Amino acid sequence: MQYLDFQRERKLRINSTLRVMLSENNLSPEHLIKPIFIHLKDRCELLPQLPNSMVFSFEGLLSHVEHLMKLGIRGVNLYPRIPTDEKDNLATQALNPNGVIPQAIN
């Protein structure tokens, strides 16, 4: 039997945040990634399709992320809520530089 040389890649462990997220046999808040739904409206709304979920306004988004950071949750995933009349088969809103996500992160 011939053995192959094997070297473990360490690229994903290059900084402390990634090391904490990828450590084995341990689950804590810093390992979690919270999905957050956002829209361009001025107020937060309940998301009826997902119980106990909300669609945040930009103002509500900031305070919610601050709350998550205090809980130890370091990662978020932003999902835009696009009005139905702006949706199309080519997903043009995904490439819109003035869309919901680019505005939220600026």
Arithmetic mean of pLDDT, 19-44: 85
Q: Which two tokens stand for residue 34?
A: 């919270």
Arithmetic mean of pLDDT, 55-68: 93
pLDDT score at 52: 87
Average pLDDT score over the chain: 86
Q: Which residue has the higher pLDDT, 76 or 20?
A: 76
Name residues whose C-beta falls within 8 Å of residue 20's C-beta, 6 or more positions apart in sequence: 30, 31
Distance of CA 75 to the CA centre of its chain: 6
Q: What is the spatial distance between Cα 29 and Cα 43, in angstroms, rounded to a whole number?
A: 27
pLDDT score at 44: 93
Q: How far is CA 2 from CA 5, 6, 8, in A?
A: 10, 12, 19
